Amino acid sequence: MSQPLELQNYIDGFWEPSAGQMRDVVNPATLETVGRVPLSTPAEFDQAVQAAKTAFYEWRRTPPLARARCLLRLRDLMEQNFEELSRIQTVEHGKTIDESRGETRRGIEMVEVAAGIPSLMMGSNLEDIASGIDEFLIRQPLGVFGIIGPYNFPFMVPLWFAPFAVATGNTIVVKPSSEDPISQVKIVELAEEAGFPDGVWNIVHGGRDVVGAMLDHPDIQGVCFVGSTPVAKEVIYPRCGATGKRVIAQGGAKNFALVMPDADLPRTVAACMNSFFGNAGQRCLANANLVVVGEGLTPSEHAALYDEIASLFVQAARNITIGNGLDEAVQMGPLRDPGKKQGVAQRIADAVAEGAELLLDGRVYETPVGCQPDAFLGPTVLGRVTPDMAVAQEEVFGPVAALMSAASLDEAIAMIHANPFGNAASIFTSSGAWARKFRYDVECGNIGVNIGIAAPMAFFPFSGMKDSFFGDLHGQGEDVIRFFTESKVVVERWF
């Protein structure tokens, strides 16, 4: 990518230039322009929808095994292009190459699971529901779906939905994030090579105009969105409801990690480094609040445990190497752009003003060799954070850890429930009783037990509760098959 790529829309099997304005795609580590992406027009989005609508007629009639073969060929092509796909993500987003490889692997797993569609989509039947009468349940595709991708996982997240949508016989129009859309362009190139018919898998770049066109379009049957809670709650979910569309709207998060007195502290802290600071904290499953729980301890013992964990945590965070994600030795890249860095830096200043103790200041660091400083922020650790502080309640979406205390497990769970989000929560413990109480009582969609990042595999749904999710069915797993299909019941008698 020595020369900036001039990106185009992919509509009905053709790469089409857009009449919209172009914006730069910038590598945040070097501030190098690596691509230019169009902000397409609603008319161009409509063109893609019409192509997808036309393609749906034949694609839904394509046998499931034939659709699965397209996915299996796509999977093979993704494996063959594994390193290129990973490198693209690092260059356009800034994450480390190792993180990009993990994202590529997760994307491939989505395609692999979706290729099992003959079994996943299978209906059911029962003979003799009454004398001589049989009943069948059939799952049928609905039509054209829209997919809106986020900037933090530009490659993987659209693949929570796209392979399952086309596997079930639907057609799609994908709108990638305009901040880092290149990896989705590469996926469409591979889908074309894999033999997907024209019009089945389309891509239209753009901003709010394209999103608005998607939400209002009468031929879009449903929308899949991952992004911020305000957009999910106030825009995507109500607009889809108003126009009768199915919707998966995944919002933000404020995830808690509880450390019990019996936890294996070295392993716990090691797991927390990735869950708090991986992807520079820009993930909806990132832990943000570390709660040291004093269940069964005296106040002095609890205070000593807090101090020990804080010391280990700060020491480990200080040793994280930041820099250009293409460097194999780098453990954390920049934030996605300088504006996001400025926003996170302001959150740190606000937390200190509220009374948080600044144990490690990520605003102070040496600019990595060969990088520009504008988007870099080191790991930050805040101590003595209380539940009423903004930094404990609101999503920061950056490499900031808030250390807190709770006298008991019940108090810690109450902290989680007082938070408006419900995406994920983790507990670190050697006690089966404490772990069971945690997973049983906590109102979050994804629960980790001695796991830093409670990320479900492709064959389980990516859950979420409260202000982290708006909809009825989730991406991945059985949920997403139900989302992309309509259940038809046939009651049959022959004379």
Catalytic annotation, residues: 284
| Burial label, 24 (beta-carbon count in 10 A; 0-12, 13-18, 19+) | middle
Beta bridge partners of 471: 248
Q: How far is CA 84 from the centre of its chain?
A: 21
**Rounded distance between C-alpha atoms, residue 337 and residue 138, angstroms:** 47
**Rounded distance between C-alpha atoms, residue 62 and residue 366, angstroms:** 57
Judge whether 11 and 175 are in contact, CB under 8 Å: no
10 Å Cβ neighbour count for 385? 22
Phi, psi at residue 332, to the nearest 5°? -150, 130
Angle, CA 80 vertex, CA 77 and CA 85 arms, to 5°: 85
Beta strand pairing status for 400-406 and 287-293?
A: parallel
**Secondary element (H or E) of residue 77:** helix 64-80
Instruction: Map residue 8 onto helix, strand or coil.
Output: coil
**Secondary element (H or E) of residue 187:** helix 182-194
**Rounded distance between C-alpha atoms, residue 257 and residue 223, angstroms:** 32
Judge whether 252 and 421 are in contact, CB under 8 Å: yes
The CA dihedral of 72, 77, 79, 80, to the nearest 10 degrees, is 150
Query: Which two structure tokens, joined as six digits, stand for 357?
Result: 């103790």
Q: Which of 14, 10, 58, 5 is nearest to 32 (CA)?
A: 5
Write the CA distances from 321 to 9, 260, 307, 310, 377, integer angstroms.
38, 28, 24, 19, 11
Helix 182-194 and helix 64-80: axis angle, to 10°? Answer: 130
End-to-end alpha carbon distance in the chain: 68
